[in-house]
């Protein structure tokens, strides 16, 4: 029990230092579940009833890896939180990667960067979740036939207000 309190406190500090999100954790739904062979995730509710997924990994993770993990966990993402003090982080990295491939192009549109944004390194990752699909949160299990099994059951859908 005490280690869970310390983990929650450390997670709150990591969120504030890494992403600039000052929030308090009210309930942890799944703690450090495997989402790949080298990454783990924690899914939690804040005091404002917002659902967040925090992913860390031993190896490098890209934005495309993180979005695939979110989808395979049976979650629908609402917002990807950029690193602290870098609101255009994914566009910056995407533009840099695009220029490596096409050094002569001067006018780069948002459509041109769509793929290259997904190549941005993103470890640790913080994702705001909009919905838990089918009321089940899945975790990685290499022994399961699909590679994923139910970690816990939880129903959540964020209703947008004005």
65 half-sphere exposure, CB direction, 13 A CA radius: 21
Q: What angle do CA 89, 90, 95 make, to 5 degrees?
A: 100
The pLDDT assigned to 94 comes to: 94
Supply the mean pLDDT for the chain. Answer: 92
The pLDDT assigned to 90 comes to: 95
- Structure-block tokens of residue 130: 């909009």
Smallest CA-to-CA distance from 156 within 100, 90, 80, 78 is with 78
The per-residue pLDDT for range 11-69, each reduced to its tens digit, is 999 999 999 998 899 999 999 999 999 999 999 999 999 999 999 999 899 999 999 99
The per-residue pLDDT for range 86-97, each reduced to its tens digit, is 999 999 999 999
- Cβ–Cβ < 8 Å for 42, 28: yes
- Structure-block tokens of residue 152: 């816990």
């Amino acid at each position: 029990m005490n280690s869970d309190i310390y983990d929650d406190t450390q997670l709150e500090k990591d969120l504030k230092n890494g992403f600039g999100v000052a929030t308090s954790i009210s309930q942890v739904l799944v703690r450090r579940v495997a989402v790949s062979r080298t990454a783990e995730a924690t899914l939690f509710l804040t005091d404002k009833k917002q659902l967040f997924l925090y992913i860390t990994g031993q190896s490098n993770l890209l934005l495309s890896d993180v979005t695939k993990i979110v989808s395979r966990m049976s979650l629908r993402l609402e917002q990807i939180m950029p690193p602290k003090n870098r609101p255009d982080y994914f566009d910056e990295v995407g533009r840099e990667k695009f220029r490596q491939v096409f050094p002569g192009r001067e006018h780069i549109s948002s459509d041109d960067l769509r793929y290259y944004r997904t190549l941005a390194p993103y470890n640790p990752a913080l994702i705001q979740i909009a919905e838990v699909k089918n009321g089940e949160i899945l975790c990685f299990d290499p022994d399961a036939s699909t590679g994923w099994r139910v970690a816990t059951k939880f129903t959540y859908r964020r209703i947008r207000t004005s």
